[in-house]
Structure 1
Amino acid sequence: MRTSHRRRLSDMTGLTPLTATTSNADPQAVYRELQEQWGVVAPVELEADVHAWLVMGHHEICQVVRNEQLFSRDPNNWRLFTEGVVAPDSGLGPMMFPRDHASYADGDKHRRLRGPIDDGLESLDEHRMARFIRATCNELITGIEHLGRADLVSDYAAVVPLLTVAGFFGMGREQSHELRAAFTAIVSSAEGSQAEAYNLERILTGVMNAHRQTPTDDLTTAFLRHPNMRNDFEIQQSILLMITAGYETTTTWIAQTLRLMLTDPRFAGRLRGGRLGIDDALDEVLWRDPPMANLPARFALVDCELGGAHIQRGDALIMAFGAANNDARVHTDDPWLEVGNRSHLAWSAGPHACPAQRPGRMIARIAVDTALHRLHDVTLAIPAEEITMVPSPWTRCPASLPVHFTPPTPTH
């Protein structure tokens, strides 16, 4: 029996924490329980006394993300933020507080700030990019293949996207590893994530100053020169947006695809000549366990109804892509009906849809292919059910993928 949810979010108690959808071994079970109780739009707890609506229906998410007139990306429209209910040092800050970049803007400002990102991605030479990604992957595998064991998350999946995306901006390895430590803290929304956000900004300011003095053929220089950028802060925040989004989502996509290919009989068979390959596994992850399970956030500009819920002006709405991709209205378990189905929301939709789908897929595909090709007889070193996820309300990234493999025969 569904519970009535016409009360204010702030008046509700005993709500399911959003983290239950990402930490549970079966997130779909949690989504189902929420839908059985509330419907496709359910109240959830982000942190103590901070509640939001979790939008789980495919149709309802499309309604929200395609309608800037009713649902804003600007956190300045979040009532709990403007009223000071959310603490300034909240772990939600890096993902939900205002920032001066395209992701948190609407209308003309969004289009102006999105322009340099679209132009920068369009300018990337895909052949050169593929060579860079492949060289990065091979270098990392060469560093571990003689060991016979590795953690495919910390040693590989979490490193490839960061080195690659940071490389697009002309950053070196040392800077990339500094960025990685900061990103891990930010996405967890844990204590200290705000301090790491400031550390990220410090690093990027140094990169911008260096590229202003010595321009090079990379995205940092392109951003510095782009006419849409009005000041250094906008440039810094736009670089931060691209690296943050590219790093976390691609890391999760690679890690989840490797997990699938090492544990699921349909895909593990590929390692022994089976019929389902890397592209199938990449698509399966986008559908069943998308890199961004819950995307923050939209903020209601008016009182309205959505999926049976009474949304009030200033309420926050979280997009549950992990639930919407399993909505029976768009996805079935019949493989014949799924041929060519690209209606998943892993990339979101509307004006804020991910602009880096092609580079993201290229990074993920090359990374997975290189690991499976170079690491001979690779097998998971723990039972599949012991794989845990990195604590985060937003993503479901395996914390570790320990594997064994046969080292290459030494050459003399």
Structure 2
Amino acid sequence: MALTDIVSSPDPHAVYRQLRERYGPVAPVELEPGLPAWLVLGYHELLAVTRQEQLFSRDPRNWHALREGRLAADSPLMPMMRYHPVCYHADGAEHRRMRVPFDEGVGRLNERAARRLIEARCHALVAKFSEAGHADLVNEYAAQVPMMALAGLFGVGQEQSEELVRTVFGVMGSGPDSEEAYQTQHRIIGEMIARPRSAPDEDLTWTFAHHPNLVTEEERYAAMHLTLIAGNMPAISWIAQTLRMMITDPRFAARLRGGRLGVDDALDEALWREPPLNAMPARYVLHDIELGGQVLRRGDCLIMGIGAANDDPEIRPDEGEDWGNRAHLAFSAGPHRCPAQLPARLIARTAVRTVLNLLPDLELTVPVTDLVPSPSPWTRVPARLPVSFTPRRLGDGPQSWATDPVG
């Protein structure tokens, strides 16, 4: 079964259950016709894979399909799955070396200043459509917020930010335009690095361009690519899926609006139900081994089925209301666990809270069955989330677009 068909299906959890019943916690899938991989469905199996670098590598150069030329050079999977000299595709000491700039960038975040900036920019986005009484909360809101939040750190203006958002969707979609989107993003990164800046110490672009742990131009560009993709698409999905749940699930919405459930609880439930990366590429088997009843061969590709693992009946035997439980694997695990959980939560929490406060009577304007995800083997971002509400004038908010840093 094709991975994109699984992730983009109306009910992927039903598919995961079927695969689990037939194959167990590790199931065969196709990344594209004739290109097999294993989808890790089990919670404990996924933890085992992510925690054992000596058995399961992040480096795609260990993938036999790449070594043997079975992945075409123009495959839409290439931008996500070919090797890049970046911490995401490294193990051990090399991973730790290249991860330092990311950890330092996250550590510089001034949470209070960032929250004010994000609130102002979310307010400005809502103000653009608040008088119309209707909007698409994915394309007009959720898709714009993360890059707006990152713009101050990167020194990016509004027009460039909007172009970068389009490239992120293109790369993560792994569709026909993925390589074009990647190359466009590469051009923009070059422009970002070349731009004069007045306060380089407060600019994350400058940090990546001159950090001593990134020793080649390829490493610097790859670090920027990773930050722009990982800093945007997961947050877009998190915001969109939380808003979708709150608007379409009466039980969930009633608890939230009745004051018995906070925004953080809603965000956590979204991470369980619809993690930002439903499936995550990839690990590569270094030695023949058995996992979940399947015999894996050296060079095999493993896809981390985060959405499936979160729904593993061994750890979630039912869909009880376990608000506050953060044992999900939405941020992965092991040495490659996401370093930006706090900034991501800050962005998502602020975005959700702001639009709910400004537009408290949001209602979906299409049947729930019309809310389909944009095609992708990795994410389940709704293609649109059309809503109506009482028209109101909000003004432009307390702050216009600026590239002021929040570090």
- Interval of TM-score (by shorter of Structure 1 and Structure 2): over 0.9
Residue 401 (str. 1) matches residue 371 (str. 2): no
Offset of 1:330 from its aligned partner?
Answer: 2.0
For 1:32 and 1:273, how far apart are their aligned partners in 2? Answer: 33
For 1:46 and 1:330, how far apart are their aligned partners in 2? Answer: 27
Question: Where do residues 83-102 of structure 1 align in structure 2 (5 Å cutoff)?
Answer: 83-102=68-87
For 2:75 and 2:17, how far apart are their aligned partners in 1? Answer: 29
For 1:98 and 1:41, how far apart are their aligned partners in 2? Answer: 24
2:114 alignment counterpart:
129
In the alignment of these two chains, the number of paired residues is 395
Is this contact kept in 2: 1:189–1:393, CA < 8 A?
A: yes
1:189 alignment counterpart:
174
Is this contact kept in 2: 1:212–1:224, CA < 8 A?
A: no
Question: Where do residues 66-77 of structure 1 align in structure 2 (5 Å cutoff)?
Answer: 66-77=51-62
Q: For residues 282-331 of structure 1, give each alpha carbon's deviation from its aligned partner in whole angstroms, at most 9, with x where no partner exists.
A: 11111111110000000011111110111001110000010101112222
Residue 249 (str. 1) matches residue 234 (str. 2): yes
1:41 alignment counterpart:
26
Residue 391 (str. 1) matches residue 375 (str. 2): yes
Residue 298 (str. 1) matches residue 262 (str. 2): no
Unaligned ranges ≥5, structure 2 = 396-407
Secondary structure of the corresponding residue to residue 326 of structure 2: coil
For 1:353 and 1:320, how far apart are their aligned partners in 2? Answer: 15
Is this contact kept in 2: 1:278–1:368, CA < 8 A?
A: yes
> CA 1:410–1:64 in 2, change beyond 3 Å: closer, same or farther?
closer
Residue 166 (str. 1) matches residue 162 (str. 2): no
Residue 286 (str. 1) matches residue 271 (str. 2): yes
Name whichever of 106-115 and 377-386 sits farther off: 377-386
1:355 to 324, 339, 350: 339
Secondary structure of the corresponding residue to residue 327 of structure 1: coil
Secondary structure of the corresponding residue to residue 375 of structure 2: coil
For 2:75 and 2:333, how far apart are their aligned partners in 1? Answer: 28
Is this contact kept in 1: 2:280–2:303, CA < 8 A?
A: yes
Q: For residues 129-162 of structure 1, give each alpha carbon's deviation from its aligned partner in whole angstroms, at most 9, with x where no partner exists.
A: 1111111101101111011100000000000012
For 1:323 and 1:143, how far apart are their aligned partners in 2? Answer: 38
Is this contact kept in 1: 2:130–2:394, CA < 8 A?
A: no
For 1:335 and 1:126, how far apart are their aligned partners in 2? Answer: 33
Is this contact kept in 1: 2:268–2:323, CA < 8 A?
A: no
For 1:283 and 1:333, how far apart are their aligned partners in 2? Answer: 16
1:12 alignment counterpart:
none
1:81 alignment counterpart:
66
Secondary structure of the corresponding residue to residue 328 of structure 2: coil
> CA 1:182–1:121 in 2, change beyond 3 Å: closer, same or farther?
same
For 1:398 and 1:325, how far apart are their aligned partners in 2? Answer: 19
1:232 alignment counterpart:
217
1:267 alignment counterpart:
252
> CA 1:242–1:41 in 2, change beyond 3 Å: closer, same or farther?
same
> CA 1:325–1:211 in 2, change beyond 3 Å: closer, same or farther?
farther
Is this contact kept in 1: 2:268–2:324, CA < 8 A?
A: no
Offset of 1:409 from its aligned partner?
Answer: 5.9
> CA 1:339–1:254 in 2, change beyond 3 Å: closer, same or farther?
closer
Q: Give aligned-pair identity as a percent.
A: 50
> CA 1:213–1:137 in 2, change beyond 3 Å: closer, same or farther?
closer
1:9 alignment counterpart:
none
Is this contact kept in 1: 2:56–2:284, CA < 8 A?
A: yes
Q: For residues 249-303 of structure 1, give each alpha carbon's deviation from its aligned partner in whole angstroms, at most 9, with x where no partner exists.
A: 0000000000000011122225753523322211111111111000000001111
For 1:35 and 1:127, how far apart are their aligned partners in 2? Answer: 44
2:358 alignment counterpart:
374
Offset of 1:40 from its aligned partner?
Answer: 0.8
Residue type matched to 2:115 in 1?
A
1:118 to 103, 107, 113: 103
2:330 alignment counterpart:
346
Residue type matched to 1:175 in 2?
Q
> CA 1:377–1:143 in 2, change beyond 3 Å: closer, same or farther?
same
For 1:109 and 1:382, how far apart are their aligned partners in 2? Answer: 49
TM-score between the two structures when normalised by the length of structure 2 = 0.93
For 2:379 and 2:18, how far apart are their aligned partners in 1? Answer: 19
Residue type matched to 2:94 in 1?
K
Offset of 1:235 from its aligned partner?
Answer: 1.5
Residue 177 (str. 1) matches residue 153 (str. 2): no
Q: Which has the higher contact order (CA 8 A, sep 6+)?
A: 2
Secondary structure of the corresponding residue to residue 13 of structure 2: helix
Secondary structure of the corresponding residue to residue 19 of structure 1: helix
Secondary structure of the corresponding residue to residue 76 of structure 2: coil
1:56 alignment counterpart:
41
Offset of 1:225 from its aligned partner?
Answer: 3.4
Unaligned ranges ≥5, structure 1 = 1-15
Q: For residues 43-80 of structure 1, give each alpha carbon's deviation from its aligned partner in whole angstroms, at most 9, with x where no partner exists.
A: 10110111100000011011111111111101011100
Secondary structure of the corresponding residue to residue 393 of structure 1: coil
Offset of 1:90 from its aligned partner?
Answer: 0.6
2:2 alignment counterpart:
17
For 2:28 and 2:388, how far apart are their aligned partners in 1? Answer: 43
> CA 1:353–1:217 in 2, change beyond 3 Å: closer, same or farther?
same
Is this contact kept in 1: 2:58–2:283, CA < 8 A?
A: yes
Is this contact kept in 2: 1:152–1:401, CA < 8 A?
A: yes
For 1:128 and 1:274, how far apart are their aligned partners in 2? Answer: 27
Q: For residues 353-409 of structure 1, give each alpha carbon's deviation from its aligned partner in whole angstroms, at most 9, with x where no partner exists.
A: 000000000100100111111114211111212211110011111110000011126
